[in-house]
A = this chain, B = another copy of it.
Amino acid sequence: MAAAARARVTHLLRHLQSTACQCPTHSHTYSQAPGPSGKTADYAFEMAVSNIRYGAGVTKEVGMDLQNMGAKNVCLMTDKNLSQLPPVQIVMDSLSKNGISFQVYDDVRVEPTDGSFMDAIEFAKKGAFDAYVAVGGGSTMDTCKAANLYASSPHSEFLDYVNAPIGKGKPVTVPLKPLIAVPTTSGTGSETTGVAIFDYEHLKVKTGIASRAIKPTLGLVDPLHTLHMPCQVVANSGFDVLCHALESYTAIPYSMRSPCPSNPIQRPAYQGSNPISDIWAVHALQIVAKYLKRAVRNPDDLEARSKMHLASAFAGIGFGNAGVHLCHGMSYPISGLVKTYKAKEYNVDHPLVPHGLSVVLTSPAVFTFTAQMFPERHLETAGILGANIRTARIQDAGLVLADALRKFLFDLNVDDGLAALGYSKDDIPSLVKGTLPQERVTKLAPRAQSEEDLSALFEASMKLY
C-alpha cells in the first residue's frame, strides 16, 4: 500500500465519518429509535436455529437420519457442478444403503432467480416428497427451502411469502417437511437460517423469503467437504462470514427496532442485534481472524478449514437472528450490475462478482460511517481483527476498524475496490438506486443513510489501498 494512496483513502473515510447531514429529515442520526411516544419499539427477541451436527465424515449419517424421520420418498437437491462429486455421492450412497427412495434435482442455479425457484418448486410439487436434502452452497440450500415451502403450501401464490414490499410477506403457518442441509462452502450459513435469497428478475432486484418456519431441520456440517475448495472460493466465502459477523454485531439492537409486532409470528428473523446473536457474531469473528488466512493459503489445512466451516454456521446463527445491514444492502447492485468481471477460480461462463467479494469491498467505508453509533463495538471488532486498540481513541473507532479490514484484505490479495471490478464514478447513481429497495436490511444499520450518504460510501469503496 503506497503511503500517498493510503493517505487519500484515509481522507475519504475520515470525511465519511465526520459528515452528518443537517437537513430536517436527517437531523436525527438514528432513524430507527423509538418515536416520541417511545412505545413502538420491540421489547423481545427470538432465537431460532436448526439442529447442527458437526464432524468430519458426518454426511454419511444422512440416510439413517431420514430413516429415523420415517422418510420414504426424498428429494435430493444440488447443482450440476456438484452432482458428480463426493459430497453428493456420499449422500446418495447413504440413502441407498438405508433403503430410502429418492429423486435428484440438479438444476439449482448459482445465484437463483424467481424463475429458477419456480422450476425447483414444480419439481417438488410433482414429486410429493416427504423430506428434502440440500447438498451445496447457499444457492442450493435456499432453493430447497423455497421448494419445500411452496410444495407444502400448494395454493399459495409465489409472492405470498416473498419479503414485502416486493411480495406480501405473509407469515408461514403451514407445516413443512423435514429438510437436511449439507453445506459444501463455508460462507452463507444458510444451513442454520430461515432465509432464502433470490433475484426477482422482473424488477432486477435481490430479495428473499425470511421465516423461521423454513429453516432446515438439521444442518450436517462436514468439514471434509471444504478440503480442496479453490483458494478464491475459500477467501470470498470467508469474507461473507466476516461481514455476517460484523454487520449483525453492529446492527441496531432489537429493542430499538420498530414497530413492535402485534403478533409474535410477525417478529422478523432480522430483528436487530441481541445478547444471543452477539455471542455468535463475536465467536465467528474470532475464528475468521485466527484461521481464514491459513484456510485460504492451504487447501489441505483441515484444522483451519474445519474452523471456518464452523464459523460459517456460527455467523449464520448470529445474522439469521439479528440481520445484516449496509455491506449486504449495497452488495446486491454490486453483483447485479456486473459488466465484465469474472471471478478467478469460479467455474462460470458469465461475468460474476462472488457474493463474499461484493459484501466485503464496501466494509471499510460502511463501518467508518456507522461507527459513530456504537463506537465501542466497532473498536472491539477491530481489536479482534488484530488492530492495536489500547491506544486508539474511541472517536476513531470507525477508522481503526476500516484500517484493520483494509490490511486484512490487502494481505489476502483482494482486488483493489469497486474500480477493480470495473466500476467508476459514473456508475454510482445506479449503484445507489439499486441499494434503495434493500430497505429491509439497510434500515438495520445503526445510522440512517441519505442517498448522498450511499453515494459517498460507494465512492469511498472505489479504491481501498
Q: Which residues of A contact B (CB under 8 A)?
A: 42-49, 51-58, 61, 64-65, 68, 70, 171, 173, 212, 263-265, 274-276, 279-280, 283, 310
Using Cβ atoms and an 8 Å threshold, which residues of chain B touch A65?
Answer: 264-265
A263 x B58 contact (CB < 8 A): no
Using Cβ atoms and an 8 Å threshold, which residues of chain B touch A265?
Answer: 64-65, 68
A53 x B57 contact (CB < 8 A): no
B46 x A51 contact (CB < 8 A): yes
Contact of A173 among B43, B55, B68 (CB under 8 A): B68
Contact of A264 among B47, B53, B56, B274 (CB under 8 A): B53
Q: How far is the CA of A264 from the CA of B280 in the complex (A)?
A: 25
Give the residue name and chain of the B residue nearest to A265 (CB).
Answer: B68
Q: How far is the CA of A275 from the CA of B52 in the complex (A)?
A: 12
Give the residue name and chain of the B residue nearest to A171 (CB).
Answer: B68
Beyond A54-B276, A275-B310, list 14 extra A-B contacts (CB 8 Å): A43-B56, A44-B56, A44-B61, A45-B54, A46-B52, A46-B54, A47-B49, A47-B53, A47-B54, A49-B49, A49-B51, A65-B264, A279-B279, A279-B280
Q: A51-B48, A276-B52 are in contact. Are A68 and B264 (CB under 8 A)?
A: yes
Q: How far is the CA of A48 from the CA of B192 in the complex (A)?
A: 11
Using Cβ atoms and an 8 Å threshold, which residues of chain B touch A43?
Answer: 55-58
Q: How far is the CA of A212 from the CA of B171 in the complex (A)?
A: 27
Q: How far is the CA of A44 from the CA of B59 in the complex (A)?
A: 10
A460 to chain B, nearest CB (A): 35
B44 x A52 contact (CB < 8 A): no
Q: How far is the CA of A70 from the CA of B265 in the complex (A)?
A: 13
A340 to chain B, nearest CB (A): 42
B58 x A47 contact (CB < 8 A): no
B53 x A44 contact (CB < 8 A): yes
A264 x B48 contact (CB < 8 A): no
Using Cβ atoms and an 8 Å threshold, which residues of chain B touch A173?
Answer: 68, 70
Using Cβ atoms and an 8 Å threshold, which residues of chain B touch A310?
Answer: 275
Q: A44-B55, A70-B173 are in contact. Are A64 and B264 (CB under 8 A)?
A: yes
A279 x B283 contact (CB < 8 A): yes
List the 10 closest A-B pairs by CB distance, nearest first: A44-B55, A46-B53, A48-B51, A44-B58, A61-B264, A68-B265, A47-B52, A43-B55, A64-B263, A279-B283
Using Cβ atoms and an 8 Å threshold, which residues of chain B touch A55?
Answer: 42-45
Sample (16) of A-B pairs whose CB atoms are under 8 Å apart:
A42-B55, A44-B54, A45-B54, A45-B55, A46-B51, A46-B54, A47-B49, A47-B53, A49-B51, A54-B275, A54-B276, A64-B263, A68-B264, A70-B173, A279-B279, A279-B283
Using Cβ atoms and an 8 Å threshold, which residues of chain B touch A274?
Answer: 54
Using Cβ atoms and an 8 Å threshold, which residues of chain B touch A51?
Answer: 46-49, 212
Q: How far is the CA of A84 from the CA of B97 in the complex (A)?
A: 56
Q: How far is the CA of A51 from the CA of B310 in the complex (A)?
A: 20
Q: How far is the CA of A48 from the CA of B217 in the complex (A)?
A: 10
Q: How far is the CA of A56 from the CA of B42 in the complex (A)?
A: 11
A176 to chain B, nearest CB (A): 13
Q: How far is the CA of A129 from the CA of B64 in the complex (A)?
A: 30
A297 to chain B, nearest CB (A): 23
Using Cβ atoms and an 8 Å threshold, which residues of chain B touch A58?
Answer: 43-44
Give the residue name and chain of the B residue nearest to A45 (CB).
Answer: B54
A314 to chain B, nearest CB (A): 8
Q: How far is the CA of A428 from the CA of B454 in the complex (A)?
A: 71
